[in-house]
């Protein structure tokens, strides 16, 4: 493989050239937001919102590579729960990851498989570390797109199923203007 470079726009999050851009809409996240009545109302009255996009640099997912991409997480809420990514563990649980905040304001929410939760505030310039074994999800707590760059080992793989089934033990919600973690009453119900 030859060395190469990609251009990352810090203001828009667009990477050029990029691989296939991933778009996640509200309909891709059915069951993930706690307030299902509000989810249904938005889908019915406002339509299927774009929640986030991922611009990947095209690379083979194999040992030795360092995969990297940007995520553009649009502002908004479902009820009092902030727009968020689906969240995942890495298939190989001991593969870590680095996030770098480029624009906007968000939280990285992390969880171990025993339900232990932590969160890290991310602003432009914040390099946040996802250690081995932690599931990770980001939430936009601002009024502008929250944009970050991520890099992780090429053989990590993604396990979405565990989070789709069990959820996160705590959810990030707006409590009087303050992003606050609250217990997820549906955690672990499968």
Q: Which residues contribute to the site for ligand S6P (CB under 6 A)?
A: 54, 69, 71, 85-88, 97, 136, 138, 150, 152
Q: Which is nearer to ligand S6P, 41 or 58 (CB)?
A: 58
Q: Which does 170 bind (CB under 5 to 8 A by kind): ligand S6P, Zn ion, none?
A: none
Q: How far is the CB of 8 from Zn ion (least distance, A)?
A: 18
For residues 156 and 170, which CB has a smaller minimum distance to Zn ion in the complex? 156
Phi/psi of residue 175, nearest 5 degrees: -120, 95
Q: How far is the CB of 84 from ligand S6P (least distance, A)?
A: 9
Tell me whether residue 2 or residue 7 sits nearer to ligand S6P (CB atom). Answer: 7
The 10 Å Cβ neighbour count of residue 16 is: 10
Interface characters, 62-101, with Zn ion (x: CB under 5 A): -----------------------------------x----
Q: Which of 32, 15, 86, 23 is nearest to 53 (CA)?
A: 23
Q: Quick one: tokens of 158?
A: 């993604």
CB-count burial class (<10 Å; 0-12, 13-18, 19+) for 40: exposed
The answer for residues whose C-beta is within 8 angstroms of residue 9's C-beta and 6 or more apart is: 15
85 touches which of Zn ion, ligand S6P, none (CB within 5 to 8 A by kind)?
A: ligand S6P
Contact between residue 145 and residue 104 where contact means Cβ atoms under 8 Å apart: yes
Residue 45 CB, nearest approach to ligand S6P (Å): 25
Q: Closest approach of Cβ 97 to ligand S6P, in Å?
A: 5
CA 94, CA 152: separation in Å to the nearest integer?
A: 11
Query: Using CB distances below 5 to 8 A depending on partner kind, what does residue 54 bind out of Zn ion, ligand S6P, none?
Result: ligand S6P
Q: Give the single-character DSSP code of 29.
A: G
Q: What is the DSSP string of 44-60?
A: HHT---EEEEEEE----
Residues that bind Zn ion (CB under 5 A): 97
């Amino acid at each position: 493989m030859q060395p190469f470079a990609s251009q990352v726009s810090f203001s828009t999050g667009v990477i050029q050239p990029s691989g296939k851009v991933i778009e996640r809409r509200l309909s891709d996240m059915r069951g993930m937001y706690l307030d299902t009545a509000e989810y249904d109302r938005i889908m019915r009255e406002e339509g299927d919102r774009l929640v986030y996009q991922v611009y990947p640099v095209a690379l083979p997912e194999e040992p030795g590579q360092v995969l990297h991409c940007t995520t553009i997480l649009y502002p908004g809420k479902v009820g009092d729960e902030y727009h968020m990514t689906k969240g995942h563990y890495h298939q190989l649980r001991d593969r870590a990851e680095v996030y770098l905040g480029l624009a906007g304001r968000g939280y990285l929410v992390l969880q171990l498989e025993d339900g232990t939760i932590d969160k890290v505030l991310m602003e432009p310039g914040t390099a946040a570390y996802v250690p081995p074994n932690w599931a990770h999800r980001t939430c936009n707590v601002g009024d502008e797109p929250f944009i970050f760059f991520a890099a992780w080992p090429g053989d990590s793989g993604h396990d979405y199923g565990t989070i789709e089934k069990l959820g996160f033990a705590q959810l990030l919600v707006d409590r009087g203007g303050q992003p606050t973690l609250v217990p997820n009453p549906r955690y672990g119900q499968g």
